[in-house]
Amino acid sequence: MSDLKNIVHRTHCIEKLLSENNLQDIEDHLKELEDVDMTVEYLQRTEVTKAVYRVLKSCPSGELKKKAKQLLSRWKALYKENCAQSMQVKKSVSVCVKEESEYLSVVPREQSLSEGPCQQEVLDGTSSNFLVPSQTVENVVCNNAEGSMNQHSSFEEQHTVHEDSKSVVSEASLQQDLLRALRCKCVDLLYKALIGFAKDEAETVKWLELAKEIEEHVFALHAKNDKKYKNCIRSKISNLKNPKSCHLKHSLFSGTLSPKAFAEMTVMEMASDELKQLRALYTKSSVQEHQLPQVINGTQTNKIKCRRCEKFDCTVTMIARGTLFLPAWVRNTNPDEQMLTYVICNECGEQWYHSRWICL
């Protein structure tokens, strides 16, 4: 088995043992990693550093922690040495380029001095080593290597510490983004319902402000119930788009109806006057129909005056007393049962009865 495959296998085994909280066999895998001829390429292509770092932070065994710390220290030194070599090569190349440019330069001293700032800017973009001529090559290499290694170590620590909190933060941010998108969509729908065919720029700006205020008040009312919030927005949009409810737009635009009051209005309150009258008429007729007896057919007469509306349009019938006062399973079907004269006004629905023409 090649070194790379062996490292990947050991890393997978360590991760699996850590997830299963089985710490007994981790020591064998750490010993195998000690014998591997590790290179910087292997460290970059695999996640062995992360696995060993998890062993260092999560294992309670002091021996395992010691071995993990030794491995990390060895790999850190290897990485630092590789960075130092690469930086030294870059430094030597840049020095050669600089010497060649100075050798080939035939520009007079005055011109070179005038062009110095421009050249300095170009050099700033190509290599940062020209900014520190007073430093020696060894200092630059060591500083750069230490900085890169410290950055790598801090990244590993932050990744491990915040690994559990990232999922919670991402989920909360996703919910906030969805809620923000929903509210923006509701504002846009309210704005389209309010604006109608308006073309004046001042009016469109005012309609947009009104839509935002209405949505804010609706959200304040139903912030804890997403279903009620959506239903309320749909109700407002439907009533604003209804041609018979144009009084709502006029009241909002003129200021007689505030956005807060409009957000708190019910469906009954947002209805037009015509619909309110029609609804009241239906309610009244339903009450009257409910009051009238459904199975009794009497004789219509104009000889009796209604005591409520004082009109002479009534219906008279003879019914048994038990029909009005007794349930069906108690009623007596005897023909000698006491009969009542039952009167209904056809105009207002008033009902009354007489026993042998004596008013009770």
- Residue 105 gets which letter from DSSP? -
The Cα 273–Cα 247 span in angstroms is: 9
**Burial grade of 55 (CB within 10 A; 0-12, 13-18, 19 or more):** buried
The Cα 360–Cα 338 span in angstroms is: 14
Residue 322 confidence (pLDDT): 63
Dihedral angle of Cα 53, 59, 62, 68, to the nearest 10 degrees: -20
Residue 233 confidence (pLDDT): 92
Residue 352 confidence (pLDDT): 84
The Cα 223–Cα 219 span in angstroms is: 5
Regions of the chain short of the pLDDT cut 50? 104-146, 148-149, 152, 155, 160-161, 164, 294-295, 356-360
3 SS3 class: helix
* Residue partners of 159: CB distance under 8 A and separation at least 6: 50
Residue 88 confidence (pLDDT): 64
The full set of domains in the chain, from first to last, is 3-160 (1.20.930.10), 168-273 (no CATH), 292-359 (2.20.25.10)
- Residue 312 gets which letter from DSSP? S
The Cα 126–Cα 3 span in angstroms is: 37
* Residue partners of 78: CB distance under 8 A and separation at least 6: 38, 39, 40, 43
**Overall pTM surpassing 0.75 (yes/no):** no
Residue 101 confidence (pLDDT): 54
The sign of the torsion formed by the CA atoms of 264, 267, 270, 276 equals negative
